[in-house]
C-alpha cells in the first residue's frame, strides 16, 4: 500500500497545490511509492482550478500541474500517513477536526522540515500579492521538500 501525503492550505488554490506539484515531482523522480494530493480547510474554491498565478509560478520553475481544488473532509484522516499544513491556522484547524490524538499527530507544518526556517514556520498566503509573492512561496516549499522527503523515506523503510 502506498504511503499517502496531503498538503492543506485555506482554499486549495495557491500554497497547497504548489506543495503538491513540487513534492509529487520529487517522489516520482525517486520512484517512491507515495501518493500525493492536496485540499483546503474551506470549500470556497472547491471545483475551481488553482489560481493562475500558482500555475504561472509552477510553470516558470518547470513543474507540471493540472489541479482542481477540494475541501479537506474530517473523514479523510484515515487515508493519510502525513497531513501537511501550510500555516499555523491550518495546523490548528486540522488538529481540531482530528478524531483522536493519533490522527492529530499526523498533522505537521511543512516548514518544520526546513532546517533553515527558524521560528516562523508559516508559508504566507500569496493570494492578495503578486508574482514575487507566489515565487517566494514556491521557494519556501522547495526549501522544505528535502527534509520532508527524508521523513517519508524513513517511514517507507519502517513499513
Q: Which of 28-37, 61-70, 125-134 has the lowest mean pLDDT?
A: 61-70
CATH number, domain containing residue 110: 3.40.50.2300
Q: Which residues contact 22 (CB under 8 A, 6 or more apart)?
A: 58, 63, 138, 141, 142, 145
Nearest alpha carbon to residue 51 among 123, 106, 141, 131:
131
Q: What is the pTM of this model?
A: 0.97
Checking DSSP bridges between strand 34-40 and strand 3-9, what pairing results, if any? Answer: parallel
Q: If you average pLDDT over every residue of the chain, what do you get? A: 97
DSSP 18: H
Tell me, yes or no, if 14 is annotated catalytic: no
Tell me, yes or no, if 125 is annotated catalytic: yes
Q: What is the pLDDT of residue 65?
A: 83
Partnered with residue 37 across adjacent β-strands are: 6
Percent of the chain past pLDDT 70, that is, above it, reads 100
The single residue of 14, 15, 53, 111 carrying the catalytic annotation is 15
The residue written with cell numbers 500555475 in the block is 55
Query: What total of structural domains would you count in the chain?
Result: 1
Tell me, yes or no, if 9 is annotated catalytic: yes
Residue 159 has pLDDT above 90, yes or no: no
Nearest alpha carbon to residue 123 among 134, 146, 148:
134
- Residue 40 belongs to domain spanning: 3-157
Q: What is the pLDDT of residue 1?
A: 81
Instruction: Give, in order, the Cα–Cα distances in Å from 27 to each of 23, 33, 100, 109, 144.
Output: 6, 8, 29, 19, 14
Residue 102 has pLDDT above 90, yes or no: yes
The single residue of 48, 93, 125, 135 carrying the catalytic annotation is 125
pLDDT band at 127 (very low <50, low <70, confident <90, very high): very high
Amino acid at each position: 500500500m502506498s504511503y499517502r501525503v496531503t498538503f492543506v492550505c485555506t482554499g486549495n488554490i495557491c500554497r497547497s497545490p504548489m506543495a503538491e506539484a513540487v513534492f509529487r515531482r520529487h517522489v516520482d523522480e525517486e520512484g517512491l511509492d507515495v501518493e500525493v494530493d492536496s485540499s483546503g480547510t474551506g470549500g470556497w474554491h472547491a471545483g475551481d482550478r488553482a489560481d493562475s498565478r500558482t500555475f504561472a509560478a509552477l510553470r516558470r520553475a518547470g513543474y507540471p500541474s493540472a489541479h482542481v481544488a477540494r475541501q479537506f473532509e474530517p473523514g479523510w484522516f484515515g487515508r493519510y500517513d502525513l497531513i501537511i499544513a501550510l500555516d499555523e491556522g491550518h495546523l490548528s484547524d486540522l488538529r481540531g477536526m482530528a478524531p483522536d490524538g493519533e490522527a492529530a499527530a499526523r498533522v505537521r507544518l511543512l516548514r518544520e522540515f526546513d532546517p533553515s526556517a527558524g521560528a516562523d514556520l508559516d508559508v504566507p498566503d500569496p493570494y492578495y500579492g503578486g508574482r514575487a509573492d507566489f515565487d517566494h512561496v514556491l521557494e519556501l516549499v522547495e526549501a522544505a521538500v528535502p527534509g520532508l522527503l527524508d521523513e517519508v523515506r524513513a517511514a517507507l523503510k519502517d513499513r
